[in-house]
Structure 1
Amino acid sequence: MKQVVHIIRKYDMEKEKIQTLKLELDYQLATLYDAMQDGNEEEIKDAKMQLSELHKSLDELNAFT
């Protein structure tokens, strides 16, 4: 029974982490959009780097399937 509870908790924690990463992804997309509108190359570069890291994290968690 403990194993079942552990598996369920682990699943719930992964699900919550995916949701958090997706919110961060949305935020970084908005940041990138604003930076592109302003023509701020440094913010564009930073946002793209953050988006790349978030994409890797989500891909590791199989969040895109």
Structure 2
Amino acid sequence: MRQTVKIIRKVDIEKQYEHALRLELDYELASLYSAMQENDTKEMERCKKRLKEIQDELNGLHAYA
């Protein structure tokens, strides 16, 4: 029974983490769009780097699903 509860908690934590990553993904996409409108290449590169990191984290979560 304890193992079942541990597994359920782990799945809940992973879902919360995935949700937070998706919110951050949306924020970074909006930031990238804004940087593109302003032609801010430094900010565009920062956004793209963070988007890649988020993508890698999401792929890592799905690898264990």
Query: When the two structures are superposed, what TM-score results if normalisation uses the length of structure 1?
Result: 0.95
Distance (Å, rounded) in 2 between the aligned partners of 1:61 and 1:4: 20
Distance (Å, rounded) in 2 between the aligned partners of 1:52 and 1:23: 15
Percent identity between the two aligned chains: 47
Distance (Å, rounded) in 2 between the aligned partners of 1:37 and 1:31: 10
Task: Please list, as runs of the form range in 1=range in 2, the aligned pairs for 1:2-41 lying within 5 A after superposition.
Answer: 2-41=2-41
Q: Post-superposition shift, 1:34?
A: 0.1
Off by >3 Å, runs of 4+ in structure 1: none
Q: How many residues align?
A: 64
- Give 1 or 2: higher helix fraction: 2
Distance (Å, rounded) in 1 between the aligned partners of 2:48 and 2:56: 12
Q: Post-superposition shift, 1:50?
A: 0.3
Q: Post-superposition shift, 1:8?
A: 0.2
Q: Post-superposition shift, 1:37?
A: 0.3
Deviations 1:6-56 (A, max 9, x none): 000000000000000000000000000000000000000000000000000
Where do 5+ consecutive residues of structure 2 fail to align?
none
Distance (Å, rounded) in 2 between the aligned partners of 1:33 and 1:59: 23
